[in-house]
Amino acid sequence: MTKRHVSLPPLAEEGLRAFISEVDERLASDEDTCDVVEDVLIDLHGDREAYERWQSGEDVSPAERVRLQGYDPCNATLESEYYAEKDEDAFTESKYLQWLWRQFDATPMADNVEFALRFRRMIAEHLFEEVGDGCRFFKGITFTYGHNITVGDNVVIHDDVHLDDRGKLTIGDRVSISDDAHVYTHDHDSVDQTHVDNYHTIVEDDARITYDSMVRAGVRLGENSILAAKSSVSRDVPAHHVAAGTPAESVAIKDGWESVADSLDGANVDRRDQRKLDTTVPDDVTQFDEFGRDLSPPDR
């Protein structure tokens, strides 16, 4: 069973195309991205009249002022903005685009599937390092930065998925990531939780990450593999294998793929260290410990 084609009425389709094309062209132009995002969000949230009143010097309440200022991504901070090792130049641009994505998802139009899929797909072309053709991004997807993500062709990412790209995330062609899944590229030290290691996490072609599962940083999910629902994987999953459990292990080979798959005996190997990334913090960044605790183990 596959999907059926759904189309909007001609006038709605015309308006959709005109709007997305206009935003796409503005984001690709020399116009300041921060200004573009602010302008688009004001109209998407239906706040143009109040914004013009505020800009003309008329009185607005403190709450109105905070709301109107919030359309400008320069007046907002994201959690990833506090990460000491982030690429400042890359993040400056990706922050604005991530703000557009997130705030669009807060509008009623985000539930108009035909419109929303195409609008997010357009933003992804500007936000991600690379994005292929025919991708479908549903509501509530979040990222760390966005600019460290590469996505292949015909990828489907469902509602409320978190794609962490504090390290590097590569998603192949025809990958499916189900609702509430989390894919990580950074990991915290078990003793000192302020120490972070970044990795390259890889999801190969035709892999499926199913409902409410978690992929640990540095894992490679092999071609055509499956991570079962509510599983947590910290070791590589070979091509054509089905992994399940917490911690997840290869428990089967997909029917019909036995002749080209590695045996189960050779599975469940941790190769994450091969994908650890060198991470440096700029010299001019003043770091702080948000916990402020002495966690030095007594036996060291």
CATH assignment of 131-275, among 2.40.30.10, 1.20.1250.20, 1.10.3720.10, 2.160.10.10: 2.160.10.10
- For the stretch 169-182, pLDDT in tens is 999 999 999 999 99
4 vs 18, more confident: 18
List 209's β-bridge partners, or say none: 177, 227
Q: Collect all residues with Cβ–Cβ distance below 8 Å to 207 and sequence separation of at least 6.
A: 172, 175, 176, 221, 222, 223, 224, 225, 226, 227, 237
Place of tokens 């599975």: 267
Average pLDDT rounded to a whole number, residues 210-236: 98
Tally: H helices and E strands in the chain: 6, 19
Percent of the chain clearing pLDDT 70 (strictly above): 100
Tell me the pLDDT of the chain averaged across its residues. 94
- Report the C-alpha gap between 7 and 123 in whole angstroms: 21
- For the stretch 118-130, pLDDT in tens is 999 999 999 999 9
CA distances to 118, 155, 164, 174, 235 from 136, in Å: 8, 6, 18, 10, 28
In this predicted structure, the answer to whether residue 1 has a pLDDT above a threshold of 70 is no
Angle at which helices 48-55 and 62-69 pack, to 10 degrees?
A: 110
Cβ atoms of 121 and 135 within 8 Å: the answer is yes
- For the stretch 5-15, pLDDT in tens is 888 999 999 99
**In what helix (H) or strand (E) does residue 27 lie, and over which residues does it extend?**
helix 10-28
Domain ranges for the chain: 131-275
pTM of the model: 0.93
299 vs 239, more confident: 239
How does residue 51 score in pLDDT terms, banded at 50, 70 and 90? very high
Average pLDDT rounded to a whole number, residues 85-105: 95
SS3 188: strand
- For the stretch 243-259, pLDDT in tens is 999 999 999 999 999 99
Give the per-residue pLDDT at 134: 96
